Structure 1
Amino acid sequence: MWFRRNTIDQKATGSPAGPLSGSDRFIVAQDGSEAKISLLSALLTFVSASFGTIASQNASAVNITGGTVTGTAVRGLSTPTLSGDAAPKSYVDGIVAAQDAMVFKGALDCSANPNYPAADRGWSYRVSVAGKIGGASGVVVEVGDLVICNADSTAAGNQAGVGSSWNVIQTNIDGAAVGPSSAVDGNLALFNGVTGKILKDGGAPGLKSKVIATTRVLTAASGNVAYTGVGFKPSAIVAVAAINTTPAFGVGFSDAALGAGGVTYYGNNHATFGAFLIEVFLTNDLGSDYQTASVASYDADGFTLAWTKNGSPTGTANLYFLCLR
């Protein structure tokens, strides 16, 4: 039992007044005898009895059973068995490795086309400089791509040697195009819209063609008229126009850039050539009453013509369009 002395020669009675100080002494009762010791000696005696002998008060390390305690680490720990036990680093690393957790190992400068590094499953690297990984015949990678090992104990090597043990995850997909959920084998891919990032099934390769027939009342005012029913967006048109019971007729064409040309005969050995898909004349010697049309646009299911009325033409023109793509 430990008793505090207020002074060296007085035995404590009741509750001691104030905190312990360097001049306080203790009595150690052991086998009926008493021994007076200082506060520091009492603490050292308690620590030694509880934790083993301490060789020096200023020691940089303290040996304990099975390990060593220093100012920065506890070494020599065994595998923990209870929830409150301390665990060595090797034990924690083993748990992470056993779970094949993704472990970030650093950046890869691929400008010189390096080989894959030695790695275990789950080790991952981020590409910091674009190039190839796996040597000169490796995989092209961009800044930000992830390179992940998928097999334990993978040796360093090139694409041919260890490439199957690695996955490259592309994260930089600026400008990448995506298509529909399904398509017909062998069909062409066409852009869908103007973003340059969406594709659609463009149908079977080869020439597409469609003939549509319609009419134009020549007394109609100038303006745009849309024609549909083609089934695709044409890139060229050949047109034939004629007016029943008259010698007037014309043939014209328009290319992918909307450039056009045509020739028209309107009776009495009169003919004209112009930069129009269609030029339809009323039968007269002067050729002053007529309508012309040029392609304003190619549309998803046909095209749009821009009609211009000149003079006072009458009658109805029969029109035939061979649409091509």
Structure 2
Amino acid sequence: MTAKIAILGASGYTGAELVRIIASHPGMEVAALAADRKAGMAMRDVFPHLAHLDLPTLVTIDEIDFSAIDLCFCALPHVTSQQVIPGLPADLKVVDLSADFRLRDPAAYEKWYGQPHQAVELQKEAVYGLTEFYREEIRGARFVAGTGCNAATGLFSLVPLFRAGLIDPDSVILDMKVGVSGAGRSLKENLLHAELSEGWMPYAAGGKHRHLGEFDQEFSLAAGREVRVQFTPTLLPANRGILSAAYVQGDAAALHAALVEAYQDEPFLHVLPMGQVPSTRSIRGSNMVHLGVAAERAKGRATVFAALDNLTKGSSGQAVQNANLMLGLEETEGLMMAPLFP
């Protein structure tokens, strides 16, 4: 049986990435596509790279017959999801790609997003969508909240190390280089080519980035105590990809061995040989994550590296991975595409 899929917010980058993945997925079929300003348009006119596909016309959410839908991806803007999802059928399986349901504590949500949560009861139901760490909960879930792309990169790097007690929780520094598509498709002055190209720009510095809420939540859970890491992302003039460097206090060989053990059976997470470092070129357009560990010259110091594609494993690919579990399909189905190179 092929699952009928609806995508809300299909005119954004993550919506287009979902369509790209599902187009070759043997167990899913795109049955409905919703957009707001672009309702009534053909998907080929919004995204010409999808012109070869036979896709439904974009409609408003109200026009979708959800009784014919098995699972819905919500690739809607922040705040919009918590307004829309409570109005969907109560038995509909949903994977949300926004930030609205990632934080379990309503007070933490209000702290990081500046307003009270509008769907607290639904927030309690959401399962955090970091597949490799919440696989069984996701398998039985109706509603899954996808992680932030920066958050996923840092969590893959460090959660096994916090769990094993191999790093000092009070001295972790996360430095990430981030591709511009992570900011979404809406028009922003700082993302114009003339203002972005030929330069790098740190943003949300000084502990202001909202993904710190996810780091606080998941790192503290893994460590069994409060963890507050230092985190600075830097915007690069590149379309896709995140490269993270986590500067930690711990034995490099032990850290590498712990990551190898944690991920040895994971189809999408690959730990490089000791001393090798990943590149965003090697994972572009794929659901793969490459990790590496390097010993620093100061004794007891190491750097843990991770690279993933923010639109695929960081968002839409991970969403499909979660949906596979929710629908009783093979977790890897539709996701084993090789990275694009060069």
Higher helix share: 2
Larger relative contact order, structure 1 or 2 (CA cutoff 8 Å, min sep 6): 2
Higher Rg of the two aligned structures? 1
Give me the TM-score of the superposition, normalised by structure 2: 0.19
